[in-house]
Structure 1
Amino acid sequence: MYYISHSNPHRSFPRLHTRKIPVITAVSRHPSPRPMDSLSPLETSSTDCCRIYVAFCAKYPNGKMCNFIECYYTSNNSWHRVTSIPGLDENQVLKDFAMVSLGDYIYIIGGRLCLKVLDPETDNVKEIDLRLLPWVRRYNVRTDKWEVCAPLSIPRFDFACTVCDRKIYVAGGQNVLGRAKGISSAEFYDPALDEWKSLANMSTMRYKCVGVTWQEKIHVVGGFAHKGNVDRIQGPYTMTRSSAEIYDPQRDKWDFITRMWELDVPPYQIVAVNGKLYSSGDCFKPWKGHIEAYDEKQNIWNEVGGSNLNCLSQNSNPDVKEPDWPSMQMLYFTMAPVGNRLYFMAGYRTPRDASRMRSEVHVFDTSANGDGWRTFEPIVEESEKELCARCCVLKQGS
């Protein structure tokens, strides 16, 4: 485990000097990683040196709860638990933060700090919001050490985040707990200087928006959004929520695009693969049964041929044919672009054993002559876990 201080884990850190980032010392290491049972690995390709990092926390408080990061190796279809996010007190977890990769680092940005409490009468878990965190931490995958970076100018959660030209961009989100209202501010981080710099505000205030770099521009798509008093006269369907804001670093300007997202419900994830944008669903239904690709000319999302996969549904049971056998309830879902492929990680509550969880990995080849879907053998885990942020991909040598 890595830690800063148990006496006051959320104290303010001294301002960092340019180009020198303090290291959080490792005092002990995780036990040996637990490999995932697998089929034969994918054929040798450029994806072999890629790793997918996913942030979780346990569902139930246990006195030692923390956010932990697992790594999925695309080369051999195996999982490793690599580290825990430092600086959290007992039964505290970080939620709705951004996690991105840049160089040899995994960055943890912003989020809301929560306390998990078990109700002794109902055995239900209550999640109590404590505060927003402006902090930024980064994990060096080579040295296995955490470092403290300059904090966000504005604390935020549920915001858009993406990497472009070796800089990290964030936009929108919420900066007040318990209030369903977004913000329009944006800023970017330069790791060479360890500094955040403000950008011009977007024209809309939005949260639960999605960030993706496409055509060398920063796209902030969808979200629960409003633009002044305009939405009040548009009825139940708000055009602003289906819009996007596009930032061009060369012009230092935001452009407002209508109807780039087709739904009033925010997208769950949008990723770029070989010059195309792909989506799996929305924040209420992260997997809608197929993959969709964005047609820029028509400004519409189309179903990708051969991408239908029922076993990824929120209630599914691909292995059992009996009609009376209970379906598996989806507990987490995330998507990662690796080369030509889209990796889908999903976790399900196992039928008739709520204490255990089944984790699955499915891969779809987006290339024109690709092989379509490939599904790996699942693993069964002894306890449930929750996804705390979208995954990120790190390519060795990038």
Structure 2
Amino acid sequence: MTRGHDILDVANLELDFEPLIPGLPNAVALNCLARLPRAMYSTLNGVSRSWRRALSSEQLFRTRHELGCTEPWIYCLFCSHEGPSKHVTSLIEAYDPVHNLWLPVGRMPGLANSEMLKGYGSVGLNGKLYIVGGRICSKGSSSEVEKDLRISKDVYAYDCITGAWKQCTSMLIPRVDFACSVCDGNIIIAGGRDTINQEKGVATAEMYIPEKDGWISLEKMSAGRYKCVGLTVSNKIYVIGGFTSSDDDGQTSPRALAWNRCSVEIYDPAKGKWEFVKGMWQIDIPPYQVVNLEGQLYSCGDLMNSWKGSIDIYDGFSNMWKTVRGSRRRLREDLACKEGLILLRRYVTMAAIGRQLYFLAGYCQSTSYGSSICLDTVDIFDISGDESIEKWKSLKPIPRPCREICSPCCVVDA
């Protein structure tokens, strides 16, 4: 994997290349380019060779960051059946919430034709999208049964400005369905499974340090967990729920395991210790997705009810999840010859940006006919207490081919 463009700094801009904007020093011109929306870059690349190099430089990202011009895009990995053979292809796309656009990123590296990646971890850090581990499976055509091949410990970083992929140092062990989050500029992962066809979670945790491109082991959790959700709250890592297993040769009782599934483990990097919190998730079915927005935890459902038709917020005082006022909703979509059907949204992915929750991708399933359709609508819920603002709004991006989302999405500022 090679860098698609040369790195360009301000000094090089001044000394080695033609002016970016006639009459302006290149350092000033770069500040002007940094203020332009990223959605325009593909068009602006055609202006000149110097613009093309500047728009794909790491210096541009640093300038955008300093000016406060970075934009949060939502990145998703999809599986789709393309080409005459209808072989499966794993494609990454980015959603630009400001311009309501889906933009192609390209194929996921490290996968052969007909291979898919599922159950991976993804985070955004320093303008890069990191995709970690996951389950590699194959499916030659839409009619074939999915076959598990292996669990990966590979780590890839996509630079959202330069468009370059880098293969990073692999995890210490392979993992799928694990907790993954960013804290203090490092990536912390915990739990998951490390073996195909073995429904037992691991208790181990590890941390990736980008500056060193290396992993270090962390203290173990109290129990093995998989299908758990990880997020950062107040500089601590929360590992929520999950199917749990004993880490001591199966001596844990079924009742204790049920308690573990309803629990959360909290890692404090300053102390290097885990804290076990009972009953925080409340049900023994793992969460589907939980996000942190302005210090509050929001959930859209569990693995059996990936979209409940409402949004839940965690009340730390009462240790309960409560339905957010005004969030209860069913989506109504028009289907050919079936107008007016009430449809339930399933397998949606949720992202938090600003004061809004975004709900993307997924399927709508008819409550009357049992059929399903891919959903293009992006639905947005405003968490502010302003009663004059309509809580829900829906956007219609340009329709895309039907694609299966492979794991929850990730927000990257760049």
Give the TM-score taking structure 2 as reference length: 0.77
Q: Distance in 2 between matches of 1:297 and 1:114?
A: 43
Instruction: Give the secondary-structure state (helix, strand or coil) at the position aligned to 1:68.
Output: strand
Corresponding residue for residue 353 of structure 2: 338
Corresponding residue for residue 392 of structure 1: 410
User: Where in structure 2 are the equivalents of 1:22-33 lying within 5 Å?
Assistant: 23=2
Q: Distance in 1 between matches of 2:357 and 2:69?
A: 11
Q: Distance in 1 between matches of 2:407 and 2:335?
A: 31
Corresponding residue for residue 53 of structure 2: none
Q: Contact conserved, 1:360 with 1:379, CA < 8 A, in 2? A: no
The question of 1:180 aligning with 2:199 is answered: yes
**Deviation of residue 60 (structure 1)?**
7.2
Q: Which amino acid aligns with 2:223?
A: T
Q: Distance in 1 between matches of 2:196 and 2:290?
A: 26
The CA deviation string for residues 244-281 of structure 1, in whole angstroms up to 9 with x for no partner, is 10000111100000011011110011111111110010
Q: Distance in 1 between matches of 2:294 and 2:105?
A: 29
Q: Distance in 1 between matches of 2:338 and 2:374?
A: 21
**Deviation of residue 332 (structure 1)?**
3.7
Q: Which amino acid aligns with 1:171?
A: A
Instruction: Give the secondary-structure state (helix, strand or coil) at the position aligned to 2:362.
Output: strand
Corresponding residue for residue 91 of structure 1: 114
Q: Contact conserved, 2:289 with 2:302, CA < 8 A, in 1? A: yes
Structure 1 residues 107, 97: CA separation in 2 closer, same or farther (over 3 Å shift)?
Answer: same
Q: Contact conserved, 2:333 with 2:341, CA < 8 A, in 1? A: no
Indicate which of 130, 148, 162 corresponds to 1:107.
130
CA RMSD of aligned residues (A): 2.9
The question of 1:347 aligning with 2:362 is answered: yes
Q: Which has the higher helix share?
A: 2
User: Where in structure 2 are the equivalents of 1:39-54 lying within 5 Å?
Assistant: 49-54=71-76
Structure 1 residues 179, 327: CA separation in 2 closer, same or farther (over 3 Å shift)?
Answer: farther
Q: Contact conserved, 2:156 with 2:168, CA < 8 A, in 1? A: yes
Structure 1 residues 355, 346: CA separation in 2 closer, same or farther (over 3 Å shift)?
Answer: closer
The question of 1:362 aligning with 2:382 is answered: no
The CA deviation string for residues 184-238 of structure 1, in whole angstroms up to 9 with x for no partner, is 0000101011011100000011100000101210000000013455653429x81
Corresponding residue for residue 253 of structure 2: 232
Structure 1 residues 183, 379: CA separation in 2 closer, same or farther (over 3 Å shift)?
Answer: same
Instruction: Give the secondary-structure state (helix, strand or coil) at the position aligned to 2:75.
Output: strand
User: Where in structure 2 are the equivalents of 1:1-398 lying within 5 Å?
Assistant: 23=2, 49-58=71-80, 62=85, 65-118=88-141, 124-227=143-246, 229=250, 232-234=253-255, 238-311=258-331, 317-319=332-334, 330=345, 332-348=347-363, 357-369=374-386, 371=389, 372-377=391-396, 379-382=398-401, 384-396=402-414
Q: Contact conserved, 2:231 with 2:291, CA < 8 A, in 1? A: yes
Instruction: Give the secondary-structure state (helix, strand or coil) at the position aligned to 2:167.
Output: strand
Q: Distance in 2 between matches of 1:24 and 1:115?
A: 28
Q: Which amino acid aligns with 2:317?
A: K
Instruction: Give the secondary-structure state (helix, strand or coil) at the position aligned to 1:125.
Output: coil
Q: Distance in 2 between matches of 1:290 and 1:355?
A: 20
Q: Distance in 1 between matches of 2:112 and 2:337?
A: 45
Q: Distance in 2 between matches of 1:258 and 1:64?
A: 45
Structure 1 gap ranges (5+): 5-22, 27-31, 34-45, 312-316
Instruction: Give the secondary-structure state (helix, strand or coil) at the position aligned to 1:234.
Output: helix
Give the TM-score taking structure 1 as reference length: 0.80
Q: Which amino acid aligns with 1:164?
A: C
Instruction: Give the secondary-structure state (helix, strand or coil) at the position aligned to 1:111.
Output: strand
Q: Distance in 2 between matches of 1:269 and 1:202?
A: 20
Q: Distance in 2 between matches of 1:238 and 1:230?
A: 14
Q: Which amino acid aligns with 1:247?
A: Y
Q: Distance in 2 between matches of 1:292 and 1:361?
A: 19
Q: Distance in 2 between matches of 1:111 and 1:176?
A: 11
Q: Contact conserved, 2:361 with 2:405, CA < 8 A, in 1? A: no
Aligned residue pairs: how many? Answer: 346
Q: Distance in 2 between matches of 1:306 and 1:288?
A: 14
The CA deviation string for residues 291-344 of structure 1, in whole angstroms up to 9 with x for no partner, is 111011111001110111111xxxxx4347997876657564100000111000
